[in-house]
Amino acid sequence: MQRNIRLRLLSNIVILYMLLAFAWWSFLLFSKNRDAFLAKSELNKIGMIANGLVQNDEEYRQTDFFKELESKYKRQEWMILGEAAVFVISLVIGVWMINQGYNKEIDAVRQRRNFLLSITHELKSPLASIKLILETFRKRNLGTHQIHQLSSNALEETNRLHDLVNDLLLAAKMEATYTLNQENINLTNLLEELNIRLGSKYPEVKFEFRKPESPLIIQGDLAGITSVVVNLLENSVKYGAENPKVSTVLRQGKESIWIEFADNGIGIPDKEKNKIFDRFYRVGSEDTRKTKGTGLGLYIVKQVVLAHKGTIEVSDNRPRGTIFTIALPKGTIS
Ligand code: ADP
């Protein structure tokens, strides 16, 4: 990091030096051009006066020779100005583009590093606990209740691994081609079912679902839409604060069907809002973060929504928290 700052400072100094040097050379060229014009003009004036062609400076300034010399001098002045402008504009655009590329590269390196750290942790911890459970089974004679308890834990860890591998596969698939299964999905039922499922998984969180009077059906990919809803609900829990509450609203618009997921969690700073949908992007740094994750969830969510020709937006909830709003086109297969 320190090295990057030093490099940046050095390149800024070099750029500043180039601009100052260029300004100096332009000024010099300008004044030399004027000196040359004045000297040539003066020499000719003296010659013309000596030959009796003109009497004084005023008459000399009316001659064709002077007029041509003056217009040539003006042209040269404009040429210098034009070249200077082109150079400065090209330099500024070039520096801006290099800066953009540099920032992107730094972000990508940071994301890759974060991803590697988090994926290692995400793979290692369930594996370690499954290993421990199996070793306990082998070493000790356990009662039925203990066996039941430990196998449930192992199963939960296996599910976690399964979800992680699924997310990785889905993200890899999105990079290539994601072909949608087209089927009718009853969104009302799906959202109700998933809210109930997550409600029993996280009893400390209050899940609310406001559904429309009549069931809303869209055409789409059931696995993809399920993954969208689960990811958003799980995130609301993961990034929740005290008295966690997650509310889902499903409603029908003119051309689209809207789903809104609102939580009262830690919220997302404005400058992070457009980055959270990037692959592997997680707010903050892996060294200080406490929550688990890979930064793939919202990437998958956005890609699935886009594949359904929908949109997703993120905004602040009041007094605190986050709202994700999804719009999906209406339409069913008859
Ligand atoms: P992960 O949860 O694995 O880090 P995601 O792609 O699901 O990855 O989310 C990216 C980032 O967006 C998270 O690291 C988190 O900082 C932020 N985020 C997502 N959902 C929420 C939310 N409901 N409230 C606050 N922050 C969120």
Domain around 297? 182-329
DSSP track, 56-108: SHHHHHHSHHHHHHHHHHHHHHHHHHHHHHHHHHHHHHHHHHHHHHHHHHHHH
334 part of a folded domain? no
What is the distance in A from the centroid of ligand 1 to the CA of 72? 65
* 124 and 243 both lie in a single domain: no
* CA–CA distance, 114 with 111 (Å, rounded to integer): 5
38 part of a folded domain? yes
* CA–CA distance, 47 with 53 (Å, rounded to integer): 9
168 part of a folded domain? yes
* 160 and 293 both lie in a single domain: no
* HSE of 3, CA atoms in CB hemisphere, 13 A: 1
What is the distance in A from the centroid of ligand 1 to the CA of 7? 32
Q: CB of 118 closer than 6 A to ligand 1? A: no
* 169 and 200 both lie in a single domain: no
* 114 and 20 both lie in a single domain: yes
What is the reported pLDDT for 245? 96
Q: How many CB atoms lie within 10 A of CB 291?
A: 12
What is the distance in A from the centroid of ligand 1 to the CA of 195? 19
* CA–CA distance, 67 with 51 (Å, rounded to integer): 19
What is the reported pLDDT for 287? 61
- Here the CATH number for the domain that contains residue 313 is 3.30.565.10
Q: CB of 268 closer than 6 A to ligand 1? A: yes
Q: Ligand 1, residue 265: give the atom nearest the CA.
A: 24
Number of separate domains in the chain = 2
Last residue of a domain, one of 161, 177, 193: 177
Most ligand 1 atoms within 8 A of CB, residue of 276, 302, 303 to mutate: 276
* 105 and 144 both lie in a single domain: yes
What is the distance in A from the centroid of ligand 1 to the CA of 276? 7
Most ligand 1 atoms within 8 A of CB, residue of 230, 282, 289 to mutate: 282
207 part of a folded domain? yes
Q: CB of 295 closer than 6 A to ligand 1? A: yes
Last residue of a domain, one of 124, 144, 177: 177
Last residue of a domain, one of 151, 177, 203: 177
What is the distance in A from the centroid of ligand 1 to the CA of 40? 73
* 146 and 22 both lie in a single domain: yes
Reply yes or no on whether the pLDDT at 332 is more than 70: no
| pLDDT 10s digits, 234-289 | 999 999 988 999 999 999 998 899 999 999 999 999 999 999 999 888 887 666 56
This model's pTM is above 0.95: no
* 127 and 213 both lie in a single domain: no
Q: Ligand 1, residue 284: give the atom nearest the CA.
A: 16
> How many residues in the chain?
334
In the structure, what pLDDT confidence band is assigned to residue 9 with cuts at 50, 70 and 90?
Answer: confident
84 part of a folded domain? yes
Q: CB of 324 closer than 6 A to ligand 1? A: no
What is the distance in A from the centroid of ligand 1 to the CA of 149? 31
* CA–CA distance, 106 with 108 (Å, rounded to integer): 5
Which residue minimizes the CA distance to atom 25 of ligand 1?
Answer: 267
Q: CB of 322 closer than 6 A to ligand 1? A: yes
What is the reported pLDDT for 304? 92
| pLDDT 10s digits, 155-210 | 989 988 888 888 888 888 777 777 788 899 999 999 999 999 999 989 999 999 99
* 81 and 145 both lie in a single domain: yes
Exposed/middle/buried for residue 304 (C-beta within 10 Å: 0-12, 13-18, 19+): buried
Which residue minimizes the CA distance to atom 8 of ligand 1?
Answer: 295
* 26 and 143 both lie in a single domain: yes
Average confidence score pLDDT of the chain? 90
250 part of a folded domain? yes
Q: CB of 239 closer than 6 A to ligand 1? A: yes
* 39 and 186 both lie in a single domain: no
Reply yes or no on whether the pLDDT at 312 is more than 70: yes
* 114 and 23 both lie in a single domain: yes
* 37 and 139 both lie in a single domain: yes
